[in-house]
């Protein structure tokens, strides 16, 4: 059974002075069985969040990592630097693709580096509005997957806890969301690409797919009701303890229902 995951992407928000308290509050408000919780603060807040979550089962993630292990890369962060600070990492977020011009090939290099270092990756994929309106959403996402994953070790990715987040770019920070039907169809298309194009076969069904794109406690239930969707990558709402509490509570209901169904199977 795939895990149900709620991952918080704090983006460029919080400081070392307030991040720990916020993380601790969220952890205390989201103690629900069966849900994997991850908080991804800015790099400068990783230590504070790690310390605040030390006595909890909430994981800490980074928002990015460099594709090289070390070198003359001013301002960058390597996997070695994250050791002891984070166990998860977000890769290929649309804002990195847009603002840092990250290519699928580069994201694939980061993915390989993260897996080799024992970081659990969340690979982000998604289309912009013009691509969806042109009927090219599935094609765009499939191209991103092939570009990042071609030639990668499937077994290493699966054993490393590989996760994919579908984030329709036009829905991020806009208040708009994809419909649950559209998100579920894309999740199925993602696994079909893994299975057929990348030759993962039935192993593709093991990969959790999250939805990201203006996720809130008010709408997450409709996405979690889709069997092909396994949680959320949450942006702005993840900075609000009430929102996180509501989303994790919904995720716990989904996790229990899936566990019960698995037990009856």
3-state class (DSSP) for residue 248: helix
Residues 153 and 165: their CA atoms lie apart, in Å, by: 19
- The pLDDT value recorded for residue 173 is 74
Q: Evaluate whether 48 touches 260 at the Cβ level (below 8 Å).
A: no
- The pLDDT value recorded for residue 52 is 98
Calculate Rg over the CA atoms of the chain: 17
Query: Is pLDDT at 143 greater than 80 in this prediction?
Result: yes
What are 8's strand-pairing partners?
39, 234
Q: Give the pairing type, strands 88-91 and 163-166.
A: unpaired
- The pLDDT value recorded for residue 169 is 92
67 as an active site residue: the answer is no
Structure confidence by residue, pLDDT tens digits, 2-11: 999 999 999 9
Structure confidence by residue, pLDDT tens digits, 67-118: 999 999 999 999 999 999 999 999 999 999 999 999 999 999 999 999 999 9
Domain positions in the chain are 4-264
Structure confidence by residue, pLDDT tens digits, 192-222: 999 999 999 999 999 999 999 889 999 999 9
Q: What are the phi and psi torsion angles at 238 (to 5°)?
A: -75, -10
- The pLDDT value recorded for residue 161 is 98
Angle, CA of 27, 58 and 40, to the nearest 5°: 95
Catalytic residue among 32, 93, 102, 243: 93
Residue 100 is encoded by which pair of tokens? 């840092």
Residue 182 CA from chain centroid, whole number? 18
Residues 33 and 36: their CA atoms lie apart, in Å, by: 9
CATH T-level fold of 4-264? TIM Barrel (3.20.20)
- The pLDDT value recorded for residue 120 is 98
Catalytic residue among 32, 95, 167, 243: 167
93 as an active site residue: the answer is yes
Q: What are the phi and psi torsion angles at 129 (to 5°)?
A: -60, -45
């Amino acid at each position: 059974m795939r895990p149900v995951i709620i991952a918080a992407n704090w983006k460029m928000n919080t400081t070392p002075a307030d991040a720990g308290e916020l993380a601790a509050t969220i952890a205390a408000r989201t103690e629900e069985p069966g849900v994997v919780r991850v908080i991804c603060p800015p790099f400068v807040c990783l230590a504070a969040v790690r310390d605040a979550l030390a006595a909890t089962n909430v994981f800490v993630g980074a928002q990015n990592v460099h594709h090289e292990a070390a070198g003359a890369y001013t301002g960058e962060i390597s996997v070695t630097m994250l050791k002891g600070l984070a166990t998860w990492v977000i890769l290929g977020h649309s804002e990195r693709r847009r603002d840092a011009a990250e290519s699928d090939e580069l994201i694939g290099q980061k993915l390989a580096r993260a897996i080799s270092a024992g970081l659990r990756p969340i690979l982000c994929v998604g289309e912009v509005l013009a691509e969806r309106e042109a009927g090219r959403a599935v094609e765009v996402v499939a191209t991103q997957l092939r570009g990042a994953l071609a030639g990668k070790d499937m077994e290493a990715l699966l054993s490393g806890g590989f996760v994919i987040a579908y984030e329709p770019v036009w829905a991020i920070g806009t208040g708009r969301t994809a419909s649950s039907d559209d998100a579920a169809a894309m999740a199925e298309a993602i696994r079909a690409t893994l299975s057929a194009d990348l030759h993962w076969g039935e192993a593709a069904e093991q990969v959790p797919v999250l939805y990201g794109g203006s996720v809130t406690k008010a709408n997450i239930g409709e996405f979690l009701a889709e069997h092909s969707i396994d949680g959320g990558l949450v942006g702005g709402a993840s900075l609000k303890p009430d929102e996180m509490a509501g989303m994790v509570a919904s995720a716990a209901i989904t996790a229990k229902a899936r566990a019960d169904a698995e037990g009856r199977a």
